[in-house]
Every structure is written in structure tokens, then in C-alpha cells.
Amino acid sequence: MKLQDFKNKSRIILALDFPDYKFSMSLLNSIQDFISGVKIGLPFLLGVGINKVKKLISAFSKKLFFIADLKLADVSHVESLVIESLKEMKFSGIIAHAFTGISGSLEESTKRAKELNIQVFLVVAMSHIGAEEILNRNFDHLLKITIKVDADGCIAPATNPTYIKRAREYLGEDYLILSPGIGAQGAPPGMALKNGADFEIIGRMIIKSTDPINVVRDILKKQKDALKIGE
């Protein structure tokens, strides 16, 4: 299944970065019916190890879409090797940087990803202040790259809805927009969806909660209300 096939289930993608395997298994078991996917970050992958990540994905892959958030930024043959390894681990999506460009990097690696049925989401802007120094200044050009290499979508920050709006206007409805920055980084649930995102990536707001199920339910309610406003 593609990530877009999960939109009717939920607009939440859980961000797993803290390397606690037992906690993560328990958490996913409790909220798997309320979220669409899981974004596994490098700290989690390195902290728990490849074998445990494989077990986690295997346990929940029937209900959840798994994305490897490695923010790939390399030449094509290296990126392709990483993508092949992620396929073996049963990931269905990967996050890479758009700034590496087309020829010699993304043109070839996105092609390899499509051959392996892995969706590619390119970072076109980030939420931290330092991103405005270089990365975010090239936002429009990075959107062009997203289309030229035929990626499946992009990553744009919920903390700056202007980027989401511009991305949606430029990309149209054929590309997915995934937005981090909800909760701990300051954006309220539903903010990104209201401005054109398809999914909101949420981590600490759920993970650090003492009652994650109710937190997720509250997020879903706020997202539903936001989508009504954005219509």
C-alpha cells in the first residue's frame, strides 16, 4: 500500500526517535488503530539495531506505513545501496534531502526506489531557525527538483504554514506533503492540515504523554476540526 491509501484511516504519522524498543512496541500496540504510519529516525535505528527494527516493522506492517527518516544526502550509487538495504528491512518509504540535486544523485536513486516500490519524500524546508540561512532560501528550487525527479512528496514544516501553502500551490494534489513540528516544536495539531498538508508527523507530544491513547484521540479531533475549517 502507498501512504496516500492511509489518509482515510488517520493523518498522524508517529515519529520514533528515542531508542527504546520495548516501550515503542507497547506504544504502537496501543495506538496502531489511530495512526497511519511510523517515521523511524536514525537515533532509533542506531540505538535498537537493525534486527529489532525489522521485528518492529514486521509486527505492525499490516496496519502501518513505515518511513525511514535518514535524510539521505549523497551520490546516487550510495543512496541506491541504502534504499536497497531499507527494502530488505521492509520499509515502505524514505526521507531524503532535495538539495543534492538531480543528475548524479536523486534522478537515479528515486528511480531505484520506484523499482523497489519505496516511496520517496524530499526535504524542501526545515523547522529550525538555522534552516533559513541556506536550505529554506532555496525552497522554490527544491520544489522544482521534487517534481523533476518524480518524488512522491515532500517534507515541509508545520511551524511555518507559508511553506506548506506554497508547496501545495506549486505541487498540486498529485504529491503528498508531510509536516513535522507539531507539539513540542510549537505548531498545534491540525495547523499543517488546514494549510494543505496530507499528514502531520508527531513525536514527543505522544511519546512523552502518560496517556498516549487519549492524546492521540484528542489530536485526531483537532485535526478533524482543522480540516473542516480548511475546506
| Residues labelled as active-site residues | 71
Q: 159: which DSSP letter?
A: T
Report the alpha-carbon distance of residue 73 to residue 145 in Å, rounded.
14
Report CA torsion sign: 180, 184, 186, 191: positive
Report the alpha-carbon distance of residue 199 to residue 96 in Å, rounded.
17
Measured over all CA atoms, what is the biggest interatomic distance in the chain, rounded to whole angstroms? Answer: 47
Q: Torsion angle, CA of 91/68/144/7, rounded to 10 degrees?
A: 70
Report the alpha-carbon distance of residue 220 to residue 231 in Å, rounded.
17
Q: How far is CA 65 from CA 10, 69, 100, 153, 229, in A?
A: 11, 13, 26, 15, 27
